Copies of this chain bind each other. A is one copy, B any other.
Amino acid sequence: MKKNIGIVGVGLIGGSIALDLTRSGEEIMVRGAERNEELGKKVLGKRLVHEILSLRETVEKSDIIIVATPPDVTTRILPEVLSLATHQTVIDVASVKEPVLDAVANHPNRHLFVAAHPMAGTEFSGPDAAQSGLFCQKACILCDAEKSSEKSLSEARELLYRLGMRIIYMDAGAHDRHAAYVSHISHITSFALALTVLEKEKSERNIFDLASGGFDSTVRLAKSEASMWNPVFRLNRENMLEVIKSYEHQLNRFRRAIEDEDDHEMQLLIRESNSIRKILKQE
């Protein structure tokens, strides 16, 4: 594998990649570009990377560059990184892919770029949230791979395999639609649930005395950072509006069954939902 890896944005995702590489036992040099000086110090303090450099130096000294910034920053910074690249493979990890691909569609170095979305993360952000093994046995989606050069693609694959991921190919449109349904909407429903209960707490103290594991898990994602999710919702706007509409429709069916005291309909709705068992891993 290539020995010089550069990571632009050493947060949860970039930092976790860095951790797995620096501790791989191989002589891999991991360099980070981090504009925020304080964050840069933290990244070094946690020994996530070997050195923090400017964006230009990071690109120059690397064979593979991973852009791991929030997706709106990625659409701005990726063309810049590609312009600095001469031969390097450039990989992004944003969770919305069409706007990222659009941003570099006509870039002369487009062939150096591989659009990736590792399906892994937690509700926490920043270098403190970095953890080793985060990607192990997870899926990584590569989008519009036919537009990447064979060399870049194969270097990207090797790195992703090294992190323990399996690779799935998808066009960016399908990716963004699917991500809206099985990832982005979960954040909206969690945020909305959190607000519902927090609002009620203002008049009913101690309401959380009754919260147990079920509540924790449905609302866990509501801890997620605005700086990450605001741009996701904005960049995936059309798909988000579609999935929310469809979710509202399903929610309505439940509300109506309760309103109408329609036991038969409620039974059907719950049993239909139960088919999700076939999808979810058994615990």
**A: which residues have CB within 8 A of B?**
117, 119-123, 138-139, 141, 168, 170, 174-175, 177-179, 181-183, 185-200, 204, 206-226, 229-230, 233-234, 237, 240-241, 243-244, 246-248, 250-251, 253-255, 257-259, 261, 263, 266-267, 269-277, 279-281
A186-B214, A230-B263, A241-B259 given; 13 more Cβ-contact pairs under 8 Å: A122-B213, A141-B209, A170-B209, A181-B207, A192-B253, A193-B250, A196-B250, A222-B274, A226-B267, A233-B258, A234-B263, A234-B266, A248-B251
Cβ-defined partner of A211 (8 Å) among B123, B183, B220, B263: B183
A211 to B170 Cα, complex, angstroms: 14
The interface residues of chain B lying within 8 Å CB-to-CB of A141 are: 209-210
Collect the chain B residues with CB atoms within 8 Å of residue A119's CB.
209-212
Known: A191-B254, A266-B233, A279-B211. A274 touches B226 (CB 8 A): yes
Is A226 within 8 A of B266, CB to CB? yes
B181 & A200 in contact (Cβ 8 Å cutoff): yes
Contact assessment for B204 and A182 in the assembled complex, using a CB-CB cutoff below 8 Å: no
- Judged by DSSP, the binding face of A is helix
A244:B258 contact, CB within 8 angstroms:
yes
Residue ID in chain B nearest A264 by CB atoms: B230
Closest Cβ of chain B to A283, distance in Å, is 8
How long is the Cα–Cα vector from A175 to B179 in the complex, in angstroms?
37
Say which residue of B196, B199, B215 sits within 8 Å of A183 (CB atoms). B215
Cβ–Cβ contact A195 & B261, under 8 A: no
Across-interface contacts of A206 in B (CB, < 8 A): 178
